[in-house]
Chains A and B, each alone.
Chain A
Amino acid sequence: MKIYPIKTLERLRGAIVPASVIAVWQALSSQGYINPQILPAPTAVVARWLDYLRPMEAYNAAGSGFMAWLFSGELVRDAYSSLYRVVAGFLIGAGLALPLGLLMGANDKFYKLCDPLVQVLRPIPPIAYIPLAILWFGLGNPPAVFLISIGAFFPVLLNTISGVRNVDGIYIRAARNLGAGQATLFVRVILPAATPYILTGARIGIGTAFIVVIVSEMIAVNNGLGFRILEAREFLWSDKIIAGMFTIGLLGLGIDTGINSLNRYLLKWHRGMDH
């Protein structure tokens, strides 16, 4: 008997449920039980996805190069636009939230000053800012990036604050006993101790950013994955809608994997991080 490595077996087991779902779906579709207008067959979705991925023009050796051509498909460009907005919005939102959160966490007076405003603004879902975003920024990338940065801002802010405020007093006492001044204490003790919280915030923040990008693309811009699935609906291309959704899922999975490995790298000292 051949012995497979455990990893391979685990992956195979992980494929059982998705494969059966797709098989049932395909069977129902090809037997004609489902109206393809409502739910197209998996094969149709895959065909549409490949079509969506394919470069729009034939390869022209005199053009701008093979790679540029390869990535000139509509899907790649949409994914790139969406990803660009997520990253830009996240960097702005998290980039503002991190220093503010560190300050609010470390300084009680400043915390008391800012906390009421934060508490009032925090429950407003980023989507509720859409009218204001369009009023302020018009159409195109700016309102989308604005909305995404709001989505990323609050999770990072709140987690950073609680990370700093929850630093175990024993570390602070130990550092002060070793002679650490305020600056050293902050950089070498409080910041690393708060890192697990900050990364949790970043993770939630990027998740929110990803939700907001799809919504804002349905409103403010004319490219990106969110725009594309809404556009497909107007033509009743349900296969393209699903192909787009599938791409959104893949992109989200990719981002999550990236954040996970960043987590593992930054928290290699952390208990319960060895797996």
Chain B
Amino acid sequence: MDAQIQVRNASKVFSSNGSEITALQDINLDIHSGQFVCLLGPSGCGKSTLLNAIAGFSPPSSGTVKVDGKVVQSPGADRGMVFQEYALFPWMTVGENVGFGLEIKKTPKARIKEKVDMLLSKLRLQDFRDRFPKDLSGGMQQRVAIARVLALDSPILLMDEPFGALDSLTRRNLQDELLRVWTEYGKTIIFVTHSIEESVYLADRTIVMTYRPGTIKKDFSITLPRQRDPAAPEFNELKKELAGLVIEEQRRYNQSDTWAHALN
């Protein structure tokens, strides 16, 4: 069977102020339906760039991204995205935010309400339906953002460091919530993180990226049985192994010219 997401020889070059940055170089990647894939790497290695290419916000400079056999050219509701900054619409209530995707699809009002209520109670937000995002904590806002993409019923979820700004307890909570949703709905998830722990906890497969140019350094299968125990020795073995790879790239990041500029 063909992979659901196929990235072929994808490169992305940004040019700013005359200089060129190769954010992605020759990426080849096959992701099968139902997989939970983490993209791992130091800041600036091109994780968001790759995710944005798959989402259709910013196509690769060369090469292709195909989803279900079709070349991705624009964003679409089949690839729901959860942003690091939550990106809730502050002028809509929690319920309106969650229902917005359905409203765009011209779903009947009664059906929207039913589905919004269902999702909000699934994410334990039912008491906040008529509140505005400003009244919610970061963790709650991110749960709303997750409910908002779940409402789309998109087969693919793209998540760009969604839990990066949260404290570790809230973070673990949401990770478990996400895993529940993933098992229940059988979605394909591509999850960007720079936490090694998070990727070992969540992923079937972790892709470690290199820093400048962004390439795939290693494609790592994680077969630990779920519910994973972060205290287990196998878990820590894997963490150590991944850490070795990431730290190599982190060093290159530290030595890079951006870093030098920042210090001057």
**A82 nearest CB across to chain B (Å):** 35
Contact, CB under 8 Å: B77 / A179: yes
**B133 nearest CB across to chain A (Å):** 8
Contact, CB under 8 Å: B104 / A170: no
Residues of A within 8 A of B90 (CB): 269-271
Interface size class of A (residues with CB under 8 A): 20 to 34
**A128-172, CB under 8 A of B: which get 1 and which 0?**
000000000000000000000000000000000000000000110
| Interface residue B65 (Cβ < 8 Å from any Cβ of A) | no
Contact, CB under 8 Å: B91 / A177: no
Contact, CB under 8 Å: A171 / B87: yes
Residues of A within 8 A of B100 (CB): 175, 178, 188
Contact, CB under 8 Å: B134 / A176: no
Q: Whole-angstrom distance between the alpha carbons of A181 and B55 in the complex?
A: 16
| Interface residue A103 (Cβ < 8 Å from any Cβ of B) | no
| Interface residue B189 (Cβ < 8 Å from any Cβ of A) | no
Contact, CB under 8 Å: A177 / B134: no
Choose the segment among B5-13, B78-86, B180-188 that binds chain A (4+ C-beta atoms closer than 8 Å).
B78-86
**B65-96, CB under 8 A of A: which get 1 and which 0?**
00000000011110111010101111110000
Choose the segment among A4-12, A113-121, A189-197, A256-264 that binds chain B (4+ C-beta atoms closer than 8 Å).
A189-197
Name which of A170, A171, A178, A192 has the most chain B CB atoms within 10 A of its CB.
Answer: A178
| Interface residue B222 (Cβ < 8 Å from any Cβ of A) | no
Contact, CB under 8 Å: B132 / A177: no
- Specify the chain A residue showing the minimal Cβ separation from B77: A179
| Interface residue A180 (Cβ < 8 Å from any Cβ of B) | yes
Contact, CB under 8 Å: B89 / A171: yes
Contact, CB under 8 Å: A192 / B91: yes
Residues of B within 8 A of A269 (CB): 90-92, 132-134
Q: With A195-B91, A269-B132 given, is the CB distance from A177 to B85 under 8 Å?
A: no
Q: With A170-B83, A171-B89 given, is the CB distance from A178 to B132 under 8 Å?
A: no
Q: With A179-B104, A188-B100, A269-B134 given, is the CB distance from A174 to B87 under 8 Å?
A: yes
Contact, CB under 8 Å: B87 / A192: no
Interface size class of B (residues with CB under 8 A): 20 to 34
| Interface residue A268 (Cβ < 8 Å from any Cβ of B) | yes
Number of A-B contacts (CB under 8 A): 64
Residues of A within 8 A of B105 (CB): 179
| Interface residue A184 (Cβ < 8 Å from any Cβ of B) | yes
Residues of A within 8 A of B101 (CB): 178-179
| Interface residue B143 (Cβ < 8 Å from any Cβ of A) | no
Residues of B within 8 A of A268 (CB): 132
Contact, CB under 8 Å: A179 / B91: no
| Interface residue A233 (Cβ < 8 Å from any Cβ of B) | no
Q: With A170-B83, A170-B85, A269-B134 given, is the CB distance from A178 to B77 under 8 Å?
A: yes
Q: Whole-angstrom distance between the alpha carbons of A175 and B55 in the complex?
A: 13
Question: Which single member of A174, A188, A271 contacts B81 (CB below 8 Å)?
Answer: A174
**A7 nearest CB across to chain B (Å):** 24
Contact, CB under 8 Å: A177 / B89: no
Residues of B within 8 A of A270 (CB): 90-91, 134
Quick one: which of A227-258 are within 8 Å of B by CB?
none
- Specify the chain A residue showing the minimal Cβ separation from B151: A178
Question: Which single member of A173, A184, A192, A271 contacts B75 (CB below 8 Å)?
Answer: A173
A-B contact pairs, 13 of them (CB 8 A): A173-B57, A173-B83, A174-B81, A174-B83, A175-B89, A175-B100, A177-B77, A179-B75, A180-B104, A188-B89, A189-B89, A192-B91, A195-B91
User: Contacts A177-B75, A271-B134 given; 11 further ones with Cβ under 8 A?
Assistant: A170-B83, A173-B87, A174-B89, A176-B75, A177-B55, A178-B101, A179-B75, A179-B76, A180-B104, A268-B132, A269-B134
Shortest beta-carbon contacts, A-B, top 7: A179-B77, A192-B91, A178-B101, A174-B87, A269-B132, A177-B81, A269-B91
